[in-house]
Amino acid sequence: MGARCTILGLCCRHSNVESDAPFASSYNGEKCEEKETVKLSGFRKFRLEELKAATSGFSVDRIVSEDGENAPNVVYKGHLVVDGGWIAVKRFNKSDWPDSRQFLGEAKAIWQLKNDRIANLIGCCCEGDERLLVAEFMPHETLPKHLFHWENQPIRWAMRLRVALYLAQALDYCNSKGRELYYDLNSYRVLFDQDGNPKLSCFGLMKNSTAEKSYSANLAFTPPEYIRTGKVVPESVVYSFGTILLDLLSGKHIPPSHALDLMRSKKLLMLMDSCLDGQCSNDDGTELMRLASCCLQCELRERPSFRSLVDSLASLQKEKDVPSYVFMGIVHETTTPTQKLSPLGEACSRLDLTAIHKMLEKVGYRDDEGVSNELSFHIWTSQIQESLNCRKRGDTAFSAKDFTTAIASYTQFIDGGTMLSPTVFARRGPVLLDE
């Protein structure tokens, strides 16, 4: 089932030398690194009743795991009543983790992994026989939904390369933190957040049970060493990553043995997804095939490290400035956060001229100084007051039928030009006509 790295006439570059620098893989001017300043709230121990309420009593309608009710451990979509946030809840079988302290210790260890490329763990629940993990909910589903079962458009080539890079960065980060094993890695473990960015599910960082097998996939996709020994090693994760690269290349879930046969026969076009329609250059396609073939080697030592995979995939990235939600065809709603008005803004909103004037004087505002054709604040307010007095005199004279005074006052009010009043025009017009 394996193949030498001479496939495609290219060698597999692999280095066991790791950098002493802290993990910080650059992409599009950003750093993918551990969140030291932005953390989720502390590890949370949920009550069972709280999670029952969030998932409508673990309703079938809330199941989001790929195999539905038949999954070994079902994942639910939940909505916290108190917090108002969406969560993903993985419910283990009652016999999977009999020791609650062991389960809690594993959950806390995974919770400590905080990274932009991972759907991070929030907490867990250990009540009676119940064992549940709670993580951030990713609203735009899994990679197979967009890769195999798309409705409007298939994932573009540039986005597929981004998925491969982000996933490699997530696994490289886990390795850097001493968490080298990921159980049953496959395309369903790649999720998309609200911005369409791909993230690795944290659930696979924890075994399904203390005794259960670590791979639930078809044996055709299982690392050969696991079939031989029943054990998962760090290189097994690299092998599974190679199967995801094949998925991204072909748009189908092709068994590795069949894909490698096509590569050896140089039938590369048969392996490529026809839906890409010219988006992928021959060089890019060949390079991704080379990386996939290296990951799928039978010999563990011939498989690359995730650090080297990150470096190789970073050089393939296209259209780096295009947001993921654009590639994914996701309607992105941007909301402007409500900002508290400044004291000046509040004074303007209530049209408080006196307060505005005091604030301007306090900061030494002198915009009208030295400008002969502009009025100072005091002159302007005096003219407003004079206009109001003219209006008042005109109204008093109009009521007393002293039309001569009314016309003079209303005319002075209009000529002032500081205010307009339909009532003044209506009253002044008939009086002028009568004259």
Cα distance between residue 347 and residue 87, in whole Å: 43
Question: What is the maximum span of the chain, computed from C-alpha positions, in angstroms?
Answer: 114
Kindly provide the b/e burial profile for residues 322-336, where b requires at least 16 CB atoms within 10 angstroms of the residue's own CB.
eebbebbebeeeeee
The HSE-up count of residue 17 (CA atoms within 13 Å, CB side) is: 1
Angle 319-202-27 from CA coordinates, rounded to 5°: 20
Say if residues 295 and 305 touch (Cβ distance below 8 Å): no
The HSE-up count of residue 18 (CA atoms within 13 Å, CB side) is: 11
User: 172, 184, 247, 273: which is the annotated catalytic residue?
Assistant: 184
Tell me which residue has tokens 């009676």.
128
3 state SS of 374: coil
CB-based contacts of 425, cutoff 8 Å, min separation 6: 414
67 part of the active site: no
* β-bridge mates for residue 31, sequence order: 26
Say if residues 144 and 188 touch (Cβ distance below 8 Å): yes
Cα distance between residue 296 and residue 141, in whole Å: 27
Cα distance between residue 67 and residue 226, in whole Å: 23
Could you list the active site residues?
184
